[in-house]
Structure 1
Amino acid sequence: MKIVSVHEGVVPISSSIRNAWIDFSSMDCSIVAVVSDVVRDGEPVVGYGFNSNGRYSAGEILRRRVVPRLLAADPESLLAEDGQLDPARAWGAVMTNEKPGGHGERSVAVGVIDMALFDLAAKIAGQPLYRWLSDRYGDGEPDEQVFVYAAGGYYAPGKTLRDLQDEMKGFLDQGYRVVKMKIGGADLAEDLERIEAVLEVLDGDGSRLAVDVNGRFDLATALEYGRAIEPYGLFWYEEIGDPLDYRLNAVVSEQYRGPIATGENLFSLQDARNLIRYGGMRPDRDYIQVDPALSYGLTEYLRIQEMLAQHGWSSRRCVPHGGHQFSLHIAAALKLGGNESYPGEFQPTGGFADGAVVEDSHVRLTETPGIGFESKAAFYEVLRALHA
């Protein structure tokens, strides 16, 4: 197996919505197609990748460093002992001459290529990615369905409480039982009013509502909000302060008894380890949200899973950020606690296969080989155009 070419591009995923920190009016993401010399049905087998929402495209790093290293690597060095493509070995090639630290846009670029290589490897094997991963990195018996929650509740121009409630009712109508909304982009009184409006839709059951601050709060505000929302018994209180302010997270965890979730803006094993060491995270109730697509890919995510296990964490406490097919396969293969979902947002990259059905906040995977982008028609058209 040889890599013949790599094609890179950018796709817009912009929206008028905002959270407590950013708006998405100019959001985009990188996409890649890795073309192999393996031919099926008269066509080369191609692996596709992209980066999750929340981080912009990383084309410059892909074009100048990551892709040239992949193409320059000895083809044999990218193969496992059985002669099949090994994305972990390719990861080593693209990280050549990169110093430790500085995790951020580089991790996004590497994650895009890593995703495409895993897609390609599973396609060559003729398996859906979750089964391919389970056979190699899991116990060979993947979850057949994955818990998903509907992420929404953004701030938007002219959005009323009734609009917010209607949005959440729409999620419930689609089969979701657990929903998430943004807070921290208004004052406490207004946010509490918004939370209580959503709880009305959920029959007052706070355990079905998660709230997300997107890293906005300082310690005093985080504690003030924590005291105010704790009586609701929420599903979780997410990314309360700056992702690298481990002390803030630890202090909040000492005083807020409900579950805390964070990690979507940690992009390396080292940062995730520091969260576990210093962030006060509690393995009996809290959640780790590292997104493989943003954090150097699945190759690094597997190392993070090993680290978590060494610290007494169950894989079921991991629910990746991103709301996309790649993490859905990973969740099923590694028996994670679930996966985020963005119904209708961040198109064409976000969401699952076109025919995916959510029932009681669970979704099944397709048997399409690889990640299954071919089962997401609008996105596949964009990806296919990269190398047509």
Structure 2
Amino acid sequence: MTEIAFLFAEITTEAGYSGIGFGYSKRAGGPGMYAHAKEIADELIGEDPSDIGKIWDKLVWAGASMGRTGLTTQAIAAFDIALWDLKAKRAGLPLAKLLGAHRDAVRCYNTSGGYLSMPLEQVLENVTTSVARGIGGIKIKVGQPDVKEDLRRVEAVRHHLGDTFPLMVDANQQWDRATALRVGRALERFDLTWIEEPVDCYDAEGHARLAATLDTPIATGEMLTSIDEHWNLIRQDASDFVQPDAPRVGGITPFLRIMALADHRKLSLAPHFAMEIHLHLAAAYPGITWLEHFEWLEPLFNERLELRDGHMTVPDRPGLGFSLSEQARAWTSDRVTVTEPRV
């Protein structure tokens, strides 16, 4: 992976309030998402920006013949997130406070220092740097062709961190059911916080079997793009940690519904990527939460999040608390302004 495509939406009301939201695509899909967003953008004109649920439904049905999951919902996410940012700014509140925060800071783990392509020495160096910065947990990738190499790397990181520091592993759907069970049992001795995406992301039954068999918690959900797909996992007890991604599921509106379903089953929440959005949502979740730390997006914004004592602090700035940087605008390859409904 060499680049990520971002779709930004900036919404301004007649009264002068504005909000910003974004969606993204890793590898292919960005141009298609942008094309769909351009086609439906005029559906927002004339609507009351407070009626976010109504607007979300309207945008979904505008492209319903293309489906209500995948690219179509991901294109909606930027609009929906911008509307929530706008609503919180109008109230003069951080989004977490508008939603009803349960905490002012969320435990945060780093995931960008332990990729399979990195030699173990580099991974250990990255772990040291992350812990020194105040990170609260470490996640590394597993799924090597040789399982023994996975175990060697996990053992080295566990020894480096000590017995009690939170450590997670992420297989990114690399294993079949039998391999996931065998490796999962071998990983039990490392007292992991979770094993993430051990099998195919749509294999709810496979995840459920692992969750019922292993002592180590199972985490999954980052690749799913609808409420229904998440509900399929939740209702089958397929994971201990639910991992929705607001830009992928269509924005904050569907994310909140997934949160409610997860809370009903008393599951833990660990949103995927986009910490600038998910910090507020995790802070508003009643149960156990973790936030995934990715520094990749920092050049896009003027503001920074504060990391302290293993937690990311919810900013006191209204809305999401971010504004687009000049660098983000310089990287912009195309833009469109919509001010009138389509005739």
Q: TM-score range by the shorter chain?
A: 0.7 to 0.9
Name the counterpart of 2:341.
Answer: none
CA drift at 1:67: 4.2
1:376 deviation in Å? 6.8
C-alpha distance after superposition, 1:277-326 (max 9, x if no partner): 23543xxxx1100111210111111222233344x325xx1111114211
Name the structure 2 match of 1:345.
Answer: 296
| Cα-to-partner distance string for 1:145-193 (whole Å, 9 max, x where unaligned) | 111111130123xx32211100001110110131101110342111111
Q: Tell me the SS of whatever aligns to 1:345.
A: helix
Q: Please list every run of 5 or more consecutive structure 2 residues that lacks an aligned counterpart in the other structure.
A: 338-343
- Structure 1 residue 360 and structure 2 residue 337: aligned? no
After TM superposition, the score normalised by the length of structure 2 is 0.86
User: In structure 2, do the counterparts of structure 1 residues 111 and 55 end up closer, same or farther at CA, with 3 Å as the change threshold?
Assistant: farther
Closer, same or farther: CA 380–70 of 1 in aligned 2, 3 Å: closer
**SS across alignment from 2:224:** coil
Residue 358 of structure 1: how far off its partner (Å): 1.7
> Which region of structure 1 is more displaced relative to structure 2, 230-239 or 299-308?
299-308
**Alignment CA distance shift 1:54-1:225 (3 Å):** farther
Aligned equivalents of 2:283, 2:329: Cα separation in 1: 22
What residue number does 1:33 align with? 10
- Alpha-carbon offset, residue 200 of structure 1: 2.2
What's the CA shift for 1:87? 1.8
Q: Which residue number in structure 1 is paired with residue 231 of structure 2?
A: 273
2: distance between equivalents of 1:232 and 1:368? 40
Q: 2:94 & 2:125 partners in 1: Cα distance?
A: 36
The aligned runs of 1:244-263 (5 Å cut-off) are 244-263=202-221
Identity %: 28
Aligned to 2:266: 313
Match of 1:4 in 2: none
Q: CA deviation at 1:118?
A: 1.1
Q: Could you tell me how far apart the structure 2 residues matched to 1:380 and 1:124 are?
A: 24
SS state of the match for residue 348, structure 1?
helix
Q: Give the equivalent residue in structure 2 for 1:95.
A: 60
Q: Give the drift of 1:261.
A: 0.6
| Alpha-carbon separation, structure 1, partners of 2:296 and 2:167 | 19
Structure 1 residues 120, 63: closer, same or farther in 2, change over 3 A?
A: farther
Alignment partners' CA distance in 1, 2:261 and 2:162: 39
Residues 4 and 24, structure 2, Cα contact 8 Å, conserved in 1: no
The one-letter amino acid paired with 2:86 is L
CA gap 1:74/1:116 in 2 versus in 1, 3 angstroms: closer
The 3 A distance-change label for structure 1 pair 338 and 100 is: farther
**Which position in structure 1 is the counterpart of 2:340?**
none
Match of 1:240 in 2: 198
Confirm or deny that 1:289 pairs with 2:228: no
Which of these residues, 107, 116, 121, is aligned with residue 155 of structure 1?
A: 116
Give the superposition deviation at 1:220: 1.6
Correspondence 1:71 to 2:25 = no
Aligned to 2:73, which of 102, 107, 128?
107
> Which of 103, 112, 124 lines up with 1:165 in the alignment?
124
2:168 to 206, 210, 213: 210
Deviation at 1:27, TM superposition (A): 3.0
Task: Provide the C-alpha distance between the structure 1 equivalents of 2:323 and 2:8, rounded to a whole number of angstroms.
Answer: 15
Q: Aligned letter for 1:370?
A: G
- Write the deviation string for residues 93-135 of structure 1: whole angstroms up to 9, x where unpaired: 211241595622222111122111111222233322122222x
Residues 137, 167 of structure 2: 8 Å contact kept: yes
Corresponding residue pairs, total: 334
